[in-house]
């Protein structure tokens, strides 16, 4: 089995649920391992992710066809590069509609690119419905629910089943409002902050550590899932005639 390159799509249907923060954390986590990495901020009017990562995160407007080509054609061409997409509520529907219509899943599979939607949940009933609807429209895409405890204290697990039960979910713990200002400073880097611990670990250190651990565990679970499904395919093959 060729190594699959992950294509993370951090998506939310509503504003102010911490989607960009999650995308920032994910990019910094992925950057530590030194692998080739690129990001896209799909909110051209108010790009909030791109300013944190000059020369790594690009802003693209996918409202029209040239923008869609700039994004999806490049994703296929750059299939060797781990990608993080910050997908805001404004173009949420458009993005997934185009993805389904142009048959992106099939093309991604041919290029060993694995789309993984990190779906930022909230307790609105429409959100659970749209989650189920997306999973139906994109059957080959991995869906992982994300609960951001800062914006949503309720998480109903049965409303947001992951693609495989063992994939689980991602939980982003709440950070005290007092230190929240620290991480929102322009140019703030989680990884740099982690590397410098002048007076011992602070709440921010623990918080970043927890989230990075969540991401690392998710990567392992995804890898095990990939191995299991490819082993399963091999194991099923010889038994079929006997059945």
Partner 1 sequence: MAKPALILVGADKGGVGKTTVARTLLDYFAAHHVATRAFDSESPKGTLKRFHPDAAEIVDATVVADQMRIIDTLSTTESTVTIVDVRAGLLSPTLRALRDIGFLDAVKKGQITFLVFHILGSSITSLNEIEETAPFTADARYFLVKNFINNTSFFEWDQATHASYFKRLKDAQILTIPKLNEMAYEQVELASVPFLSFVANKNPKGETANYSFVLRGYFRHWLGNVWAEYDRVKLLDSFEASGSSAAAGSRAQAGNRT
- Tell whether residue 179 is a contact of partner 1 (CB under 8 A): no
Reading the block at residue 77, the tokens are 């061409």
Q: What's the rounded Cα separation, in Å, for the pair 218 and 166?
A: 10
Q: 193 in helix, strand or coil?
A: helix
Reading the block at residue 152, the tokens are 């949503």
Question: Which helix (H) or strand (E) is 214 found in, with range?
Answer: helix 203-239
Reading the block at residue 36, the tokens are 């080739």
Min separation Cβ 77 and partner 1, Å: 9
Q: How many residues bind partner 1 (CB under 8 A)?
A: 13
- Tell whether residue 101 is a contact of partner 1 (CB under 8 A): yes
Q: 87 in helix, strand or coil?
A: strand
In angstroms, what is the C-alpha Rg of the chain? 18
Min separation Cβ 111 and partner 1, Å: 10
From residue 180, give the alpha-carbon distance in Å to each of 5, 177, 183, 185, 204: 32, 5, 6, 9, 9
Q: Which is nearer to partner 1, 75 or 118 (CB)?
A: 75
- Tell whether residue 93 is a contact of partner 1 (CB under 8 A): no
- Tell whether residue 40 is a contact of partner 1 (CB under 8 A): no
Q: Which is nearer to partner 1, 99 or 211 (CB)?
A: 99
Among 103, 177, 181, 238, binds partner 1 (CB under 8 A): 103
Are the C-beta atoms of 113 and 75 separated by less than 8 Å?
A: yes
Tokens 């869906």 label which residue? 143
Among 61, 107, 149, 159, binds partner 1 (CB under 8 A): 107
Among 1, 32, 69, 179, binds partner 1 (CB under 8 A): 69
From the number of C-beta atoms within 10 Å of its C-beta (0-12, 13-18, 19+), residue 188 rates as: middle
Q: Which is nearer to partner 1, 15 or 66 (CB)?
A: 66
- Tell whether residue 72 is a contact of partner 1 (CB under 8 A): yes
Structure letter (DSSP) for residue 10: E
Q: What's the rounded Cα separation, in Å, for the pair 48 and 63?
A: 18
Q: What's the rounded Cα separation, in Å, for the pair 146 and 44?
A: 24
Among 76, 124, 179, 235, binds partner 1 (CB under 8 A): 76
Among 8, 40, 53, 104, binds partner 1 (CB under 8 A): 104
Q: Which is nearer to partner 1, 104 or 119 (CB)?
A: 104
- State which of positions 48-67 bind partner 1 (CB under 8 A): 65-66
Q: Which is nearer to partner 1, 99 or 204 (CB)?
A: 99
- Tell whether residue 73 is a contact of partner 1 (CB under 8 A): yes
Min separation Cβ 33 and partner 1, Å: 28
The footprint of partner 1 (CB under 8 A) covers 65-66, 68-69, 72-73, 76, 98, 101-104, 107
């Amino acid at each position: 089995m060729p190594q699959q390159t992950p294509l993370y799509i951090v998506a939310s249907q509503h504003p102010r649920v911490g989607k960009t923060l999650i995308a920032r954390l994910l990019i910094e986590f992925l950057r530590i391992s030194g692998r080739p990495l690129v990001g896209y901020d799909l909110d051209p009017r108010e790009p909030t992710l791109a300013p944190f990562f000059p020369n790594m995160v690009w802003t693209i407007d996918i409202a029209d066809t040239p923008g869609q080509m700039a994004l999806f054609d490049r994703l296929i061409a750059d299939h060797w590069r781990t990608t993080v997409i910050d997908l805001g509520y404004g173009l949420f529907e458009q993005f997934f509609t185009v993805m389904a219509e142009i048959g992106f899943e099939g093309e991604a599979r041919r290029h060993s690119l694995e789309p993984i939607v990190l779906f930022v949940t909230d307790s609105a009933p429409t959100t659970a419905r749209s989650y189920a609807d997306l999973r139906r429209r994109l059957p080959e895409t991995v869906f992982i629910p994300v609960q951001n405890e800062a914006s949503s204290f309720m998480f109903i697990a049965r409303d947001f089943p992951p693609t495989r039960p063992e994939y689980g979910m991602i939980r982003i713990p709440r950070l005290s409002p007092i230190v929240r200002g620290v991480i929102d400073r322009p140019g703030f880097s989680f990884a740099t902050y982690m590397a410098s611990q002048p007076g011992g670990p602070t709440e921010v250190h623990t918080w970043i550590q927890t989230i990075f651990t969540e991401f690392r565990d998710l990567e392992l679970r995804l890898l095990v899932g990939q191995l299991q499904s490819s082993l399963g395919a091999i194991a099923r093959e010889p038994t079929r005639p006997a059945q």
